[in-house]
Amino acid sequence: MSDTPTPLPGHQRELVMKVMPMPADANGNGDVFGGWIMAQVDLAGSVLPARISRGRITTVAVNEFIFKQPVSIGDLLSFYATVTRIGRTSVTVHVEVIAERNPANPHVVKVTQANLTYVAIDHDGKPRAIPVE
């Protein structure tokens, strides 16, 4: 199985967020805390579903989450999202996190990947249909 799912037609991989972790984001070993990375992935993953659903959404499932490499303080993280499925009320996205490391001798490494599903909700928090394009 490929690391990167095939995007839906008309939905290509898109840079949705960039962030640099700071010392307060580190765990006891000096690496960036996994929970911080998960929160950033959830934020990045929500960008395309929010656009597609044209309204309020909520995370309904983290289908897969893989930490491939540790993230270090000072890494510049780029979050790329790809829409892989649009249902009646939900949107599933694949998120890849790429770290740019060592500015003096730069190199790039994929540090995290995840698949998340978001559901469109109405003002009462109930699922609502996603507008058809």
Per residue in 4-15, pLDDT tens?
666 666 678 999
pLDDT digits (tens, 9 = 90+) for 103-123: 889 999 999 999 999 999 999
Domains of the chain, residue spans: 14-120
Residue 4's pLDDT is 64
Whole-number Å distance between alpha carbons of 82 and 64 = 14
Residues making up the chain, counted from first to last: 133
Residue 97's pLDDT is 99
Residue 1's pLDDT is 46
- For residues 20-37, give the mean pLDDT: 95
Average pLDDT over the chain, rounded to an integer: 93
Burial 76-90 (b: 16+ CB within 10 A, else e): ebbbbbbbbebeebb
14-120, CATH topology level: Thiol Ester Dehydrase; Chain A (3.10.129)
